[in-house]
Structure 1
Amino acid sequence: MDQLFHLPISPACRKVRLALGEKGHEVELVEERDWEGRREFLALNPAGEVPVLLEESGRTICGATPIVEFLEDSVPDRPLLPGDAYARAEARRLAEWFDKKFAEEVSLPLIHEKVTKRFMSAVEGGGSPDMAVVRATLYNVRYHLDYISYLMEDRRWLAGEAMSLADITAAAHLSCLDYIGDVPWSQFPQAKEWYVRLKSRPSFRALLADHVPGMPPPRVYANLDF
């Protein structure tokens, strides 16, 4: 069976896991704390970052975007991109929005401060979260939820009428924040309704079963109607 080297609370890894679920491609999950720089892992990916897909054949595909593009090419009957060129461009635009803008302003700094630091030694940069960074990210997330709500005014899914790469990318980031209870869903009902529909998809079940040692999620995290 193919293996996916991942971290449970990682937007990039969750994006790949959702894509694998949508494509019906089962893998063995292998947790990899990439900041440790394990020699065997560096042999798989010299960049030293998750996610990494290791095929049973021994071939490796490194990075969320290359893995998702590989899955899109290798399992074309379950597309994550629409057929129309303009619709594909919109799906890619929104995926980039969350993988770059949302990641920089919200998910990556917040996850680092509230999750990753808990598992890093002092030498590796661990310690207490920087609350100034945490407050800034919690302020910024509202802007992005407002944008999702705006898109939902005349669309069923983020990029149009069909679920796409845009949705799984956004959900990958937001699901990490949802695990640590930092999404003010009640203030953004349209964004919440969109997320509930994603949570109800079979591809989401594995994410809802995640449990980080010493850091349980809120009780509503796994509820499909929260």
Structure 2
Amino acid sequence: MITLHGFAASNYYNVVKHVLLYKQIPFEEHLIFSGGDEWLEISPVGKVPALTTSDGRHLSETTVICDYLEETYPERPLYPTDAGERAAVRQIMKISELYLELPARRFLAYAFSGKGAPEPVKAEVRHVVNRGVGALSRLCQFSPWIAGEEMTMADIYVHYVNKIVGSVGSEQLDWDILAQIPGMKEWNRTLRDAAITREVEAGRVANEPAFQAYIQAFIASGKSAVK
């Protein structure tokens, strides 16, 4: 049995969970926020999510896990067979990560503490996000899926990237970021209403009290970052 380690407040965790559900792969969930040496044996840098495969191998990093699942469980494929089309899907994923999600993630510490980010940080993030908005406006097709006629890994990945961008990023910048990409918000709503997405969201809601308790304890400890 595959084990998915982490917590459902993590958008990266939910990417992997969505892929597992989409591919109808049996798995169990192990709730963990952080840990000591035992956790580092599973996730070498202590990041969420991590996956223990059915043969006992431990994997971390979301895209690594997703590629493993795609290659090991090829049923219901999430990448095109054509190499160029696969690269186009991965390009959308990488740009959304580097130019939307990671810049918006800089605001998480401020959001958890209920504060606004300093103006220089906001200016830096806005500059990077503007580049991502421009790139994705050119690359995303929404016809009806983000990379064309078939659902791909990019649809799942970008939907959960948008969770951070559309809440933390937009709130801190007072700017509806997703509305700047033609078709993005409409596509996002369609995917949000899918049965698997609703199941993943139900897990996130159920996990929220435990996650908030962890965050409050984390802040009280005086640590400087949250994964």
TM-score (normalised: structure 2) = 0.72
Q: 1:202 to 1:154 in 2, by over 3 A?
A: closer
C-alpha distance in 2 between matches for 1:137 and 1:207: 28
> 1:170 aligns to what?
158
> 1:193 aligns to what?
186
Alignment of 1:109 with 2:93, yes or no, is: no
Native 8 Å contact 1:4 1:29 kept in 2: yes
Residue 158 of structure 1 is aligned with which of 146, 171, 191? 146
Q: 1:152 to 1:101 in 2, by over 3 A?
A: closer
Native 8 Å contact 1:4 1:51 kept in 2: yes
Name the aligned partner's letter for residue 37 of structure 2. R
Q: 1:128 to 1:177 in 2, by over 3 A?
A: same
Name the aligned partner's letter for residue 9 of structure 1. A
Q: 1:20 to 1:149 in 2, by over 3 A?
A: same
Alignment of 1:95 with 2:96, yes or no, is: no
| Pairwise CA distance, 1:15 | 1.9
Name stretches of at least 5 consecutive residues in structure 1 with no aligned partner: 119-126, 216-226
Name the aligned partner's letter for residue 191 of structure 2. L
Q: 1:14 to 1:140 in 2, by over 3 A?
A: farther
Q: Which has the higher mean CA deviation after the structures are superposed, 144-153 or 191-200?
A: 144-153
How big is each residue's C-alpha offset from its partner over 1:103-147, in whole Å with a ceiling of 9 and x where there is no partner? 3322x21334324xx5xxxxxxxx856344467647865664565
Other structure's SS at 1:103 match: helix
Q: 1:8 to 1:151 in 2, by over 3 A?
A: same
Other structure's SS at 2:48 match: coil
Q: 1:30 to 1:114 in 2, by over 3 A?
A: farther
| Pairwise CA distance, 1:153 | 5.8
| Pairwise CA distance, 1:192 | 1.2
| Pairwise CA distance, 1:8 | 2.6
Other structure's SS at 1:77 match: coil
C-alpha distance in 1 between matches for 2:167 and 2:201: 9
| Pairwise CA distance, 1:41 | 0.6
C-alpha distance in 2 between matches for 1:155 and 1:128: 39
C-alpha distance in 2 between matches for 1:207 and 1:141: 27
Q: 1:154 to 1:171 in 2, by over 3 A?
A: closer
> 1:203 aligns to what?
196
Other structure's SS at 1:20 match: helix
> 2:16 aligns to what?
16
Q: 1:20 to 1:179 in 2, by over 3 A?
A: farther
TM-score (normalised: structure 1) = 0.73
| Pairwise CA distance, 1:10 | 2.6
Measured on the aligned residues, the alpha-carbon RMSD in Å equals: 3.1
> 1:5 aligns to what?
5
| Pairwise CA distance, 1:70 | 0.9
Residue 130 of structure 1 is aligned with which of 117, 125, 149? 117
Q: 1:157 to 1:112 in 2, by over 3 A?
A: farther
Q: 1:84 to 1:19 in 2, by over 3 A?
A: same
Q: 1:14 to 1:194 in 2, by over 3 A?
A: same
Aligned residues with identical type, % of pairs: 26
Other structure's SS at 2:156 match: helix
Native 8 Å contact 2:99 2:129 kept in 1: no
Native 8 Å contact 1:9 1:111 kept in 2: no
Paired residues, number? 202
Native 8 Å contact 1:102 1:144 kept in 2: yes
Name the aligned partner's letter for residue 109 of structure 1. R
Other structure's SS at 2:77 match: coil
